[in-house]
Amino acid sequence: MTAQDITDEHRRDAQTLWDYHLLGHEPRNTEVAIVLGSYDLGAARHAAELYHQGRFSLIVFTGATNDYTIDVFPQGEAVAFRAAAIESGVPESATMIEDKATNSGANITLSRELLSQAGLVPTSVTLIAMPFMERRAFATCRAQWSEVEVVCASQPIAFADYLSFSADPRHVICDMVGDLQRIIEYPKYGYMIEQVVPEEVHAALKRLIVAGYDRVLPKS
């Protein structure tokens, strides 16, 4: 399915989810960046941009693979993301790799352990992920690493452009639906801190699920 195959109604609802997932944090200097792996190298390239701006001096790339990324990044998400950042001018000495994480909670906890093993205990981190993963990453980090100061960042791009550049725009919307459902459900398990979800966001989510954008919903 291409971006043109998505109805205007579905696009409007997806835009509502996109806007909610974005946190709009102002960039600020932190001690370290953690880049969450995915199928989108835009996070790695944006990390390189922020590194060159002097926002942090060390980047941890975290992520193994999943069913959706194994064919794209057979070497692992973290390895591929670090390579993209190095191609963008980040020195290898300014990077670390955590290549075991398969979910956002593990991205945070295993990156924290990696830093600790290196004798590093940062008090501030920049989390860099896909644009629609900002809120999930933030809520997860606040639950799993409550004492650290967190700022979130992502590739600055409009939703329409992101969708049109995607090889699988329907999957992008499915991911946004799945991430929002996790934001709603996971606080009761302690995986994330609770987030306020406005009614219009709830309504858009329900319409998209009914419309069939449900293939990455969390398993009950």
Instruction: List, for residues 125-135, the tens digit of each pLDDT value.
Output: 999 999 999 99
pLDDT in tens, 108-121: 999 999 999 999 99
How does residue 69 score in pLDDT terms, banded at 50, 70 and 90? confident
The Cα 41–Cα 130 span in angstroms is: 9
DSSP label of 10: H
The Cα 51–Cα 153 span in angstroms is: 12
Tokens 């998400």 -> residue: 77
| pTM passes above 0.85 | yes
Q: Is the pLDDT of residue 212 over 80?
A: yes
Cα dihedral 189, 191, 192, 198 sign: negative
Between the CA of residue 46 and those of 43, 56, 66, 201, what are the distances in Å? 5, 13, 22, 27
The answer to whether the CB of 98 falls within 8 A of the CB of 114 is: yes
